[in-house]
Amino acid sequence: MYKVGWLDSHAHICGKEFKDDLDKVIQNAKDNGLVKIMIICSDLSEVEKALELATNDEMFDVAVGLHPNDQKFLTDKDWDLFYEYAHNEKIIAIGEIGLDYHWHKDNVEKQKELFIKQIKLAKNLNKPIIVHSRDAMKDTYDILKEHKCKGVMHCYSGSYEMAKEFTKLGYYISLAGPVTFKNAAKPKEVALKVDINKLLIETDCPYLTPVPFRGKRNEPMYVKHIGKYISELRNIEENELKEHICENYNILFKKF
């Protein structure tokens, strides 16, 4: 059985932004009722630290993936190291992986190639994927439809209609800080209407800090402000949301 509480399904806590005070950040998370943090390693140099944390404390899970924004800078050696990590049983998901046409429009085909290669590996390993999609919703959808896998649309920013289509493919929808931003109409609509059995929450820290801490460095403890906001929006008890989020997380990542 698993613990029920707030959880952060996407946190980059082994990055350089946390190198000076990670212990404090972890303690803050525990003090604020978090029961789980999925550590996302987009930089391969972060993996050893993440594995050490996960080995010593069951609060942590680890995911590793080659991010589309790094596609241009990756070498064969990076792929080999990623491939080795992907097989590690302590690494329970592949991500974040995907497409980013906001920052990089000139290497679309290469991004797709890297994305598909990692989806195929995840399928072989029977591990879910954590998907990054920025200004690339249609291509992301087409690839996920063709290459059947399971996973989560992280920091989802698309429409409710598209969210429904992703859930039909077997994907969960994870909402981050922007749902609390005043003018973010789309995430609010998604938060209100998406099937609660397909919903996850995350900070994507160190960025995208939710209200009322917008502008500060983000950290896992702030996920509770995202959860509280969604509970109020849906007019349900916070505990009911926690139960759903923890169940969803465990179905996706532990019983894939």
Can you give the binding site for Ni ion, defined by CB under 5 A?
Answer: 204
Smallest separation (angstroms) from Ni ion to the CB of 96: 5
Nearer CB in complex with Ni ion: 204/219: 204
Q: How many whole angstroms separate alpha carbon 243 and alpha carbon 240?
A: 5
Closest residue (Cβ) to Ni ion? 204
Q: What's CA 17's distance to the chain center, in Å?
A: 18
Pick the closest to residue 108 from 130, 133, 128 (CA basis).
133
Smallest separation (angstroms) from Ni ion to the CB of 39: 11
Q: Please confirm whether the linkage preceding 206 is cis (ω < 30° from 0).
A: yes
Smallest separation (angstroms) from Ni ion to the CB of 166: 17
Give 223's contacts (C-beta < 8 A, 6+ positions apart).
6, 7, 8, 34, 201, 202, 203
Kindly give the residue spans of alpha helices, DSSP state H, lying in the chain.
22-31, 47-56, 76-87, 108-125, 137-146, 160-168, 185-193, 223-234, 238-254
Nearer CB in complex with Ni ion: 231/249: 249
Tokens standing for residue 247: 């169940």
Nearer CB in complex with Ni ion: 13/119: 13
Smallest separation (angstroms) from Ni ion to the CB of 154: 6
208 contacts 178 by C-beta, under 8 angstroms: yes
Smallest separation (angstroms) from Ni ion to the CB of 236: 27
Smallest separation (angstroms) from Ni ion to the CB of 172: 15
Nearer CB in complex with Ni ion: 9/231: 9
Smallest separation (angstroms) from Ni ion to the CB of 176: 9
34 contacts 66 by C-beta, under 8 angstroms: no
CA dihedral (180, 184, 186, 192) in degrees, to 10, reads: 30
Nearer CB in complex with Ni ion: 9/180: 9
Nearer CB in complex with Ni ion: 99/231: 99
Nearer CB in complex with Ni ion: 100/204: 204
